[in-house]
Amino acid sequence: MPENNPSPETAVRLRVNGKKVEVSCDVRATLLDLLRERLRLTGTKKGCNRGECGACTVHLDGRRVNACLVLAASADGAEVTTVEGLARGEQLHPVQEAFIESDAFQCGFCTPGQIMSAVACIREGHTGSNEEIREWMSGNICRCSAYPQIVAAVASAARDDV
């Protein structure tokens, strides 16, 4: 009969959406699981859990990443921004507003990851054309096919100098 050894835990210190947090988690836990299960930030979605769909996109030290592919322990000391951290109180982030104005969502499951990718896409300067936006947003899958509206939202927000 195999031994029932619990997996080792480690302390992870992060700044999440501007707030310092320290949490203990399984050394095998992903950043996605830490955010959703330990910190209860459920805006970041678990889609494919293999880095293929982009539903779990967050910003890690200013770069967009698929949180399902990052071990939480490897993010120790990092700055993490989730979709919950974009708005300032009741004031939505301009990209969130652009998604609403452009009707850039249907079921809404992919929307948080799309928005996080869009913010990064604009910041990275990849909004010179609709084709460029499509290319740099291609890691985020929308099963409802709201791509024309998503591209329009990104282009609109980019024009407004987000």
pLDDT in tens, 108-161: 899 999 999 999 999 999 999 999 999 999 999 999 999 999 999 999 999 986
In this prediction the pTM is 0.92
- Read off the amino acid at residue 143: R
Question: Rounded to whole angstroms, how far apart are CA atoms 161 and 26?
Answer: 41
Domains in the chain, please, with CATH?
Answer: 9-85 (3.10.20.30), 94-159 (1.10.150.120)
State the pairing for strand pair 79-81/9-16. Answer: parallel
Nearest C-alpha neighbor of 144 from the set 120, 122, 114? 114
Helical spans, DSSP H, in 25-129: 31-33, 94-101, 111-124
pLDDT digits (tens, 9 = 90+) for 77-120: 999 999 999 999 999 999 999 999 999 988 989 999 999 999 99
